[in-house]
Amino acid sequence: MRRGRTGTIAVASALVMTAVLGGCGITGGSGEVTLKLVAADYGDTEANSSRHYWDDVVDAYEAKHPDVRVDVTVYSWNDVDRKVRELVDAGEAPDLAQIGAYSDYAAKDLLYRADDLLSIPVQADFVPQLAAAGQVKGVQYGMPFAASTRVLFYNKTLFAQAGLTPPKSWDDLAAAAEALKAEGVKYPYALPLGPEEAQAETMQWLLSGGGGYTDVSGTYTIDSAQNVDTFTWLKDELVGKDLTGPVAPGKLNRAAAFAAFAAGDVGMLNGHPSLMAMAEKKGVKYGMVPTPGADGASPNTLGVADWMAAFKQNGHQEQIGDFLDFVYADDQVLDFSRRYDLLPVTTSASEAMSTAEEDKKLKPFLDQLLLSELYPVGETSWATVSAEIKKRIGEAVATGGDPRTVLEELQATAVRADSAA
């Protein structure tokens, strides 16, 4: 545990544990109220750990609020949801948790509503798509904290060698993949349907084919005709023609696909902003275009958000709300987004980023935000459905696999999970 000048940051991420164990000091105000916040680590080294961001936020907040202390614990993304679950199950819920899913807690009436906490201007400033995705039965419980979208990355050097221009449609993408294969590119199109993040690649393709996981009413439609057509095309036109590389899509994880792109071995793949830094570090020249769709650029793209949830157990409603109003101020939101190549979750910060020269690399992703569609995270069944997609979707494009059968089985799982929820 490290006790800072004005707050307590207990860092449980493996990336930062060594630095934390280097020494402890104890200072800080007496504080009539202590808010406990569990946060995720977006950094990949100790130097850029989210601990440093929260240090700065807590210092600034406590300097203005000597009667409140904020005690922050930072865990790696691999652990944070599990850690929060353990705390809640043990009857020791934090006041705030910055996590990947919130709806199951809301369904058990464990969370404050956003409008019980935030000032009207702050709540109204959330990007509309993100605010809507934070709702359970029309009430917002999940407060978006970080966001990203997906675009198609392509290797400019490999494209130039093959005489290619960026694809706009599926047919363009398949033709480019054929040309890249002829040039000996290891992964003409990297299709990561492995268990790490298969639900993301899957949804990106479903949207580009005019489908998705749910319809406009929120009912699961995983086995819709559009979705079956999309995965049939993937199986026949990319995977079946050996255009997705030496690793079967169901075995290829996103991290491995990103690493292969940064190594110069991938012609095209769907990526989020963190891939930019990975590619630049390795000297890979890349371009970015909107995701190709069945008949041209896809009208929708995948949006992903992480959530701030406020638990009722300890009370502190007033202090939680005041702290969150501070956290969602433009300077805080922009600072976090810029540190970790993420998109602002508020409209005002998004507008500021869209015109700032320092943020021009993120503009392709920002432009997609208002066109994005998010996972159905407001459904308490989503965790079960997502886990099954991660486990099974690779079978839909595997040799001997049948896309329709796999999607029908996933739909049956979704219906059962929805009924149970």
Which DSSP string corresponds to 95-129?
A: SEEEES--HHHHHTT-B--GGGTS-HHHHHTB-HH
pLDDT band at residue 12 using 50, 70 and 90 as cut-offs:
very low
d(CA 373, CA 360): 23
Q: Determine the pLDDT at residue 16.
A: 37
Most confident of 132-146, 173-187, 407-421: 173-187
CB neighbourhood size of 21 (10 A) = 11
Amino acid in position 58? V
Confidence of residue 86 (pLDDT cuts 50, 70, 90): very high
Report the pLDDT value the prediction gives residue 28, as an integer from 0 to 100: 36
Question: Tens digits of per-residue pLDDT, 206-217?
Answer: 999 999 999 988
Please say whether the beta carbons of 270 and 201 come within 8 A: yes
Cα 115 from Cα 268, distance rounded (Å)? 43
Render pLDDT for 352-391 as a digit per residue (tens, 0 to 9). Answer: 999 999 999 898 899 888 888 999 988 889 989 999 999 9
What pLDDT, in 10s, does the model give residues 105-161?
999 999 999 999 999 999 999 999 899 999 998 999 999 999 999 999 999 999 999
Using the predicted structure, report yes or no on whether residue 13 has a pLDDT greater than 80: no
CA distance 398 to 174: 18
8 A C-beta contact, residue 273 and residue 341: yes
Rounded Cα distance between 72 and 268, Å, is 39
pLDDT of residue 378: 87
Residue 235 DSSP label:
I
Q: Residue 43's pLDDT is what?
A: 85
What residues have CB less than 8 Å from 97, skipping those under 6 apart? 37, 38, 39, 80, 84, 308, 309, 311
270-297 in b/e form (b: 16+ CB < 10 A) is bbbbebbebbeeeebebebbbbbbbeeb
Res 2 pLDDT > 50: no
Q: E strand or H helix at 233, and its extent? A: helix 225-233
In percent, the amount of the chain with pLDDT more than 70 equals: 92
Tell the burial category of 215 from Cβ atoms under 10 Å away from its Cβ (0-12, 13-18, 19+): exposed
Question: Measuring CA to CA, how many Å separate 36 from each of 215, 319, 320?
Answer: 38, 11, 10
- pLDDT averaged over the chain? 90
Is the pLDDT at 203 greater than 60, yes or no?
A: yes
> How many alpha carbons lie under 13 Å from residue 368 in its C-beta half-sphere?
30
For residue 3, is pLDDT > 70? no
| Of 7 and 280, the one with more pLDDT | 280
DSSP string, 13-62: -HHHHHHHTT---------SEEEEEEEEE--SSSTT-HHHHHHHHHHHHH
pLDDT at 5: 32
Mean pLDDT of 250-277: 95
Does the pLDDT value for residue 6 go beyond 80? Answer: no
One DSSP character per residue, 138-168 reads TEE-PEEEEEEE-EEEEEHHHHHHTT-----
Residues contacting 346, CB < 8 A, separation 6+: 125, 126, 127, 328, 330, 333
